Amino acid sequence: MKFCSNCGTKEPVFKIPKGDNRPRFICHNCDTIHYTNPNIITGCLPIWEDKVLLCKRSIEPRLGYWNVPSGFMENGETVEDGAKREVWEEAEAKVEIIGTHALFSIPRINQVYVHFLGNLIDGQYGVGEESLETELFMEEEIPWEGIAFHSSIFTLKRFFDDRKNGTRKVHIGGYLQ
């Protein structure tokens, strides 16, 4: 951090605040402690009959790879509304959320994924701005080598396992390398 975002003073110091247990950037002028915390990425796996809807990314990172519609949660929205918004932005599709499916942490890059399952309303979808194409896949058609992120592989594998076993759970996982 180069400047205090509160008062503009240069070079906040990186040290452990009184009563805390880890270093933070602290402004030596206005004493503001600049906390940073993980980002939430919210998304939803849209389901239609025996298929799931994936989006091929038109943006970096992982441009050209398939993904469960997901993106950074915005201020002022609930995590489920954020998931629905992402499905609309990436796939021009509407979903009815049917449950929480996966919580997936990536501590190395300070990200937490929340993935829901949702019924694709009327089976309708298009191609949003952040996608090159969108497609409904049966399990055996999933392009496993071309999936964008560990979180999406986790979500898809657990979804198909649950479906095979007739179960539905909230799956907790992470990428810890």
Which CB atom, from 32 or from 105, has the smaller least distance to Zn ion?
32
**What is the smallest separation between the CB atom of 21 and Zn ion, expressed in angstroms?**
22
**Shortest approach of Zn ion to residue 110 CB, angstroms?**
23
Task: Give the nearest distance from C-beta 1 to Zn ion in angstroms.
Answer: 11
Cα distance between residue 147 and residue 57, in whole Å: 10
User: How many Å apart are CA 39 and CA 74, to the nearest integer?
Assistant: 10
**Closer residue to Zn ion in complex, CB, 29/110:** 29
What would the DSSP string read from start to end of 18-41?
TT-SS-EEE-TTT--EE---PEEE
Regarding beta strands 95-106 and 171-174, do their DSSP bridges make them parallel or antiparallel, or are they unpaired? parallel
In whole angstroms, how far apart are CA 70 and each of 43, 47, 59, 94, 144? 4, 15, 13, 14, 18
Q: Which is nearer to Zn ion, 16 or 30 (CB)?
A: 30
The smaller minimum CB distance to Zn ion, of residues 5 and 110, is found at 5
Taking the complex as a whole, how short is the minimal distance between the CB of residue 29 and Zn ion, in angstroms?
Answer: 5
Please identify, using beta-carbon distances, which residue of 17 and 174 lies nearer to Zn ion: 17
Q: Which of 165, 71, 55 is nearest to 120 (CA)?
A: 55
Residues that bind Zn ion (CB under 5 A): 4, 6-7, 9, 27, 29-30, 32
Q: Write the CA distances from 10 to 14, 30, 81, integer angstroms.
A: 12, 11, 38
Shortest distance, CB of residue 22 to Zn ion, whole angstroms?
A: 20
